[in-house]
Structure 1
């Protein structure tokens, strides 16, 4: 049931919304098979959407500035299908709650890189939904936002775990198990993270399908690897509770080794992980679906600059830095 609060006293001709990226500290791929995962918001890296009333009969149209392309329900460009789906899901959910929502123009700009394991599809969809809610003068419950974003995630990823839409909607560290309510985690110590981009797109749909196909052939091996990842996630939760950064970093690095065995890492990702470790990182691993994308690196206090330099020398095309504060 929608939980919306009327905010119609704040009327704006131009409404906006934003949403953050995310990183999975531990648990990707295994989470698809019932194991837990820990994900954190990357609040410093965001997508922004602006919404205004369009011309009658135009339907929802999304102009993605970063792609220099405009998408409508009639567009056959697959890059924009999920964005239009997110807009239409919000329109359907909010219909009758405020001003007419049928014909909307939406402008989208995002600093969350596409296909890099940082939740770009969830962030852009969430920004659109938040902007449409603001246009309708409605306060949007994060649980409703998460459900609407998940509809778009199904288009992008086929069988998404639900991690991305959850952490992007709530913007809090999340302990996530598929089929269970998310648990919002207190963090006992600040986490200084770097995300290092290989420059190669990550194809989550493809790597998830790859692991699934292997599991159909050899369930015992894949289930053993995912169970081992799940055990590391549980250890990492204890380390977070205790403020044990060294233990958390060791769990992250061990998680990467298991993801390599699952076949979802790449030489470029492995090189970044090894370079980070050699430069003094507490831990590092691939982030998201793998097959490309980013590595996430846990830095000790005062070492981020040195580790950043090492990652650039190792081939990182771009770096993103953020801090997860204690809560």
Structure 2
């Protein structure tokens, strides 16, 4: 099945501004076999996390999903030129690792990130240091690996004189995601590269969502690390074992995603919450929920959330709760009391200009 990784948002939709800082410090390196020297600029770039409102797992099988960026939680990439002949060094700051590019292969995510950029620009290994940090929890269903890759790709490109388009960032990030997750749907790299709320169907151009009413979400971390690859493989095994039952669940999820889009674009937040709750029931039926997720979901609902569900692959990670301003504090307190390791707030801002641009 073809995966849409290099396509733009449909209907000429507006593109979010990329978060970036370009420093004035620069270095130069010689391109072997030529008389050329290239400037390397000091650059900082970032990319957001993401959450899925509806459509986890079913999106892998051609059903639609709704995903939104979490712009308040980001991964950061900082490129700094180094002395001539030092080569490229990658520092995964949060992991306490410093690795020269020559010690990595393209079969490793960090090695592939740099290799893809150098191949796209057709330049040899530059003399620079790439520092990577992230606010996003690893294994939390918020696209941490895709955000790190997208930030690094943007920073490396800019440092070497090229501003990659969101479509280019998405396509390269997808290749890195394949190493991490095996057969990703393409939704993470798409929503993170474009930093737009999208309606996504695998193999089709993503469509921007016309959000008419601001949406407030709380994101709560179970503290249970989860593997996207493991969760996807689990659903695949269940599909092979019980094809009729599982296919019916996946199709139902697809119907919910269509209905959720309509509710969101009409500002019907109570209806959206109900659909999120139904989606959670189907995810639990698939076997990808977790007792910690179930506890946080129930706590949010009991405290007044319009809807609550896991987000991402499940089996741990994070859940989301759709809340109103009047219940925001109560739901946050309930999640903390129920044992959430962290609670974050994010919002989907209204963007009715899409009606005028389509």
TM-score clears 0.5:
yes
SS of the counterpart of 2:345?
strand
- The Cα shift of 1:86 comes to 1.4
Output aligned runs, 1:58-73, within 5 Å.
Answer: 59-73=87-101
Per the alignment, do residues 85 and 56 of structure 1 end up closer, same or farther by CA in structure 2, a change over 3 Å counting? farther
Of 136, 156, 159, the match for 1:132:
156
- The Cα shift of 1:57 comes to 5.7
Aligned to 2:111: 84
Q: Is the 8 A contact 1:20 1:123 kept in 2?
A: yes
Per-residue deviation, residues 223-250 of structure 1 (Å, max 9, x unmatched): 1000011010011011011100000011
Of 87, 90, 95, the match for 2:122:
95
Q: Is the 8 A contact 1:72 1:84 kept in 2?
A: no
Is 1:148–2:172 an aligned residue pair? yes
- The Cα shift of 1:77 comes to 11
Per-residue deviation, residues 128-182 of structure 1 (Å, max 9, x unmatched): 0111111022222100010010011001100000000000000000111001111
Of 256, 260, 279, the match for 2:303:
279
TM-score, reference length from structure 1: 0.92
Please tell me whether Structure 1 or Structure 2 has the larger radius of gyration of its CA atoms: 2
Q: Is the 8 A contact 1:146 1:169 kept in 2?
A: yes
Per the alignment, do residues 318 and 64 of structure 1 end up closer, same or farther by CA in structure 2, a change over 3 Å counting? same
- The Cα shift of 1:84 comes to 2.6
**Whole-angstrom CA distance in 1 between matches of 2:100 and 2:174:** 20
Q: Is the 8 A contact 1:60 1:84 kept in 2?
A: no
Of 79, 85, 88, the match for 1:51:
79
**Whole-angstrom CA distance in 2 between matches of 1:59 and 1:232:** 50
Q: Is the 8 A contact 1:175 1:185 kept in 2?
A: yes
Of 299, 308, 316, the match for 1:292:
316
Per-residue deviation, residues 105-140 of structure 1 (Å, max 9, x unmatched): 100111011110000001000110111111022222
- The Cα shift of 1:53 comes to 3.0
Is 1:254–2:278 an aligned residue pair? yes
- The Cα shift of 1:55 comes to 5.0
Per-residue deviation, residues 58-98 of structure 1 (Å, max 9, x unmatched): 553321111111234455799x93133112211211235xx
Aligned to 1:318: 342
Q: How many residues align?
A: 318
**Whole-angstrom CA distance in 2 between matches of 1:200 and 1:133:** 35
Q: Is the 8 A contact 2:23 2:43 kept in 1?
A: no
**Whole-angstrom CA distance in 2 between matches of 1:70 and 1:241:** 46
Aligned to 2:64: 36
What is the alpha-carbon root mean square deviation over aligned residues?
2.3
Structure 2 unmatched ranges of 5 or more? 1-5, 9-21, 27-41, 352-358
Structure 1 unmatched ranges of 5 or more? 4-8
SS of the counterpart of 1:186?
coil
